[in-house]
Amino acid sequence: MRDAWEARQGREKERDVDVQEREASPDLAARLREAAAGIDPDELAARAAALREGREAEERHIAQEAAREQERVKELERQQEIEREAHRDRGHGIER
């Protein structure tokens, strides 16, 4: 009997919570509508565009730096190859 009573009490508490949640939902919706009314869509779009442009500029900068680094590596490899060729040529000249 006690178990049945406790189960019934638990269901009543759940119903009370459901009612409270339903009552809170319109309040929350009203607060969200009120907050959204204060947002200027043009200003929001401008800020989003500025953030996007900044991110794209940073990505371009990183890509340019990577390209410059690749060029430096290629130039270094060319220099090393020239030095190796010069060293080989000197070595062959001595053997003759």
Q: Who has greater pLDDT, 93 or 29?
A: 29
How many helices and strands in the chain, by DSSP H and E? 2, 0
Inform me whether the pLDDT recorded for 9 exceeds 70: yes
Residue 3 amino acid letter? D
**Arithmetic mean of pLDDT, 8-18:** 66
**Arithmetic mean of pLDDT, 54-63:** 97
- C-alpha span between 83 and 57 (Å, rounded): 39
Look-up of token digits 């189960």: 7
Inform me whether the pLDDT recorded for 45 exceeds 80: yes
Q: What pLDDT is recorded for position 94?
A: 52
Report DSSP state, residue 38. T
Question: In the numeric block, which tokens belong to residue 90?
Answer: 């000197």
Inform me whether the pLDDT recorded for 20 exceeds 70: no
Q: Which of 8-12, 37-41, 54-58, 77-81 bottoms out in mean pLDDT, i.e. has the lowest?
A: 8-12
